[in-house]
Amino acid sequence: MVANYVGERSWANAFSTFDPHRFLAPTIEGVDFPKLGIDFAYNETADASLHIKTYATSSHAKGEHTQFRIVNLPAVDEVRILRDGRQFCAWEQLNDSSIVIHSKVERHRFSIYTNYRDPAAAPPNKLPMANEAGNDDKLKGTSLRVNLGDLVAVSQQRSNNTSGCSCCA
């Protein structure tokens, strides 16, 4: 499996590269091995989800009840789970940062929305502020999609004079 991630003659990179954030990310624990196998488990920052693929390691174990934990969740109340593309509700909260998933020993794909954002990931491109001096050229040709709720909030701030910025006072 490591061979998928390192090139020829670069095995040392697999062991010398250290990602300190991986210990903060949502993780699967307590797998019922050797009955249940994990084909893959990875965090996808684009959709803030942990993706897991399970399988039965033997025909004898197939169909048996199993469970495993997901730990390091930033907000358990925001967790949503899909199993094989359908909403999955057979899970329960253990504490503020962990859940337990109840399933069968079979081939399944879990997509667990965790709302985890990798702190090492590059921040989204920040647009310059329109009211900052010298930003007219930077904003030329820029278009923005604005949520109606944001417009209403700004309108309410302006009418209540609660925006906190000196230009709207």
Considering the chain, what percentage of its residues have pLDDT values greater than 70?
59
Residue extents of the structural domains in the chain? 2-113, 136-168
pLDDT of residue 101: 98
Plot region of 149 (φ>0 → left; ψ -120 to 50 → alpha; else → beta):
alpha
Instruction: Encode pLDDT of 98-119 as tens digits.
Output: 999 999 999 999 999 999 987 7
- With CA atoms as reference, report the closest residue to 26 among 95, 87, 98: 98
> pLDDT grade, residue 46 (50/70/90)?
confident
Top-level class of domain 2-113: mainly beta
Please give the Cα distance from 88 to 111 (Å, whole number): 10
Q: Is the pLDDT of residue 130 over 80?
A: no
On average, the pLDDT of the chain sits at 78
From the DSSP assignment, how many helices (H) and strands (E) are in the chain? Answer: 3, 9
Beta bridge partners of 113: 49, 80
Identity of the highest mean pLDDT range in 1-5, 11-15, 62-66, 136-140: 62-66
Considering the chain, what percentage of its residues have pLDDT values greater than 90?
52
Mean pLDDT across the stretch 152-160? 54
